[in-house]
A and B are shown apart, each in its own frame.
Chain A
Amino acid sequence: MNIALIAASLILTSAAVGGGLPRQAVGAAQRAARPASSARTGEQVFATNCARCHQPPMSLSPRITGTVMMHMRVRARLSGEDERLLLKYLAP
Chain B
Amino acid sequence: MDLRERRIAGRWLLTIVLTCVIVHQVDAQDSADSGNNAGHAPVIQGGAGYVHNVSGGAPTLEPQIDPVLLIAFGRHFLLESRTDFTGFFQRQDQTSGPFTGKVFKTVEYAQIDWLANTHATVVGGRYLLPFGLYNERLEPIWIRNLQDSPLTASVGTRTTGAGDGLMVRGVALQRPAISAQYSVYGSAHSGINQFDSARTAGMDASVFLPGKRLEVGSSWQRFLENRHITSGAFYLSWQPPSTGLDVKAEQDISYFGHGYWIEAAYRESRMSLPQFARSLQPVVRMQQFFPSNGGGNGLPRVRTERFDFGVNYYLRDNLRLLSSYGRSFESQRNLNIWNLGLTYRFTIPLWFGGKE
B339 CB, min distance to chain A CBs, angstroms? 16
A63-B317 contact in complex given A4-B89, A14-B48, A70-B72, C-beta closer than 8 Å:
no
**Do A66 and B40 touch (CB < 8 A)?**
yes
CB-CB < 8 A to B75: which residues of A? 66, 70
Neighbour of A63 across the interface among B35, B39, B78, B169, CB < 8 A: B39
Does B7 sit within 8 A of A, measured CB to CB? no
Q: Which residue of B lies closest to A52 (CB)?
A: B237
Q: A7-B65, A81-B174 are known contacts. Are A70 and B115 too (CB-CB below 8 A)?
A: yes
Q: Would you call B40 and A67 a contact (CB within 8 A)?
A: yes
Do residues A17 and B348 form an inter-chain contact, with CB atoms below 8 A? yes
B169 surroundings in chain A (CB, below 8 A): 74, 77
Q: Which of B36, B136, B239 has the most CB of A within 10 A?
A: B36
In this assembly, does B61 line the interface, its C-beta being within 8 Å of a C-beta of chain A?
yes
A33 touches B39 (CB 8 A): no
B183 close to A (CB within 8 Å): yes
With both chains docked as a complex, state the minimum distance between the C-beta of A66 and any C-beta of chain B, in angstroms. Answer: 4
Proximity string of chain B (217-243) to chain A, C-beta cutoff 8 Å, 1 when within and 0 when not: 000000000000000000001010110
- On whether the beta carbons of A68 and B239 are closer than 8 Å, the reply is no
- Tell me if B143 and A67 are in contact (CB < 8 A): no
Q: Can you name the residue of chain B whose Cβ is closest to the Cβ of A57?
A: B317
Tell yes or no: B349 within 8 A of A by CB. Answer: yes
- On whether the beta carbons of B42 and A67 are closer than 8 Å, the reply is yes
Q: Which B residues from 159 to 183 make CB contacts under 8 A with A?
A: 169-171, 174, 176, 179, 181-183
Question: A79 — which chain B residues lie within 8 A by C-beta?
Answer: 118-119, 170-171, 174, 179
Are A30's CB and B174's CB within 8 A?
no
Chain A residues near B36: list those with CB within 8 A. 84, 87-88, 91-92
Residue of A3, A38, A58, A90 with most partner-chain B CB within 10 A? A3
Picked from A18, A21, A81, the residue with its CB within 8 Å of the CB of B118 is A81
A63 touches B41 (CB 8 A): yes
The residue in chain A whose Cβ has the minimal distance to the Cβ of B179 is A79
Evaluate contact between B210 and A48: CB separation under 8 angstroms: yes
User: What is the interface size of chain B, counting residues whose CB is below 8 A from a CB of the partner?
Assistant: 81
| In contact, A64 and B43 (Cβ under 8 angstroms) | yes
**Closest Cβ of chain A: how far from B57's Cβ, in Å?**
21
When A77-B181, A79-B170, A81-B174 are in contact, do A71 and B70 touch as well, CB less than 8 Å? yes
Residues of A within 8 A of B356 (CB): 22, 62-63
Q: How far is the CA of A33 from the CA of B249 in the complex (A)?
A: 23
Residue B314 at the chain A interface, CB threshold 8 Å: yes
Whole-angstrom distance between the alpha carbons of A79 and B298 in the complex?
Answer: 35
Residue pair A10, B41 in contact (C-beta under 8 Å): no
Is B213 among interface residues, defined by CB-CB distance under 8 A? yes
Whether A91 and B137, one on each chain, are in contact in the complex, defined by CB atoms closer than 8 angstroms, is: no
Q: Are A14 and B344 in contact (CB under 8 A)?
A: yes
10 extra A-B contacts, CB within 8 A, seeds A11-B48, A64-B39, A70-B40: A4-B50, A8-B63, A51-B239, A53-B237, A54-B143, A61-B349, A63-B39, A65-B37, A82-B174, A88-B35
Using a CB–CB distance below 8 Å, which chain B residues touch chain A?
27, 34-43, 45, 48-50, 61, 63-65, 68, 70-72, 75, 78, 80, 85, 87, 89, 99, 103, 113, 115, 117-119, 121, 123, 136-138, 142-143, 169-171, 174, 176, 179, 181-183, 208, 210-211, 213, 215, 237, 239, 241-242, 246, 267, 269, 271, 314, 316-319, 344-349, 352-356
